[in-house]
Amino acid sequence: MKGSRRAFTLPELLVVLVIIVVLTSALVPVLFAARSAAKTVGCISNFHQAQYATSLYLNDYDDTYMPVNHQPAGEYSSKTDRTWVQMILPYAPDFGIFRCPADDTDRPRREATFDADLVPGDTYSQYYTASLRTNLGFNFIYFSPILKVGDEWQSHPRTTSDIANPDQTYLFIDSLWNKDENGQPTGGGSWLVVPPCRFDVDGFDSFAGDPAVKGVFTNYVDGWEYNDVASPLRYGGTWPWHTGKMTTVTPNGSAHTVNPKQLADGCDVQSDWGGDITDPQKYEWDLR
Which pTM was predicted?
Answer: 0.84
**How large is the average pLDDT for residues 208-236?**
83
Closest alpha carbon to 104 in 34, 194, 181, 36: 36
**How large is the average pLDDT for residues 86-115?**
84
Q: Please write the tens of the pLDDT for every residue from 108-135.
A: 776 544 445 555 566 777 888 899 999 9
Please tell me the least confidently modeled range out of 18-22, 89-93, 163-167, 223-227.
Answer: 18-22
Higher pLDDT, 282 or 26: 282
CA angle 72/74/77 to nearest 5° reads: 90
174 phi, psi to nearest 5 deg: -50, 135
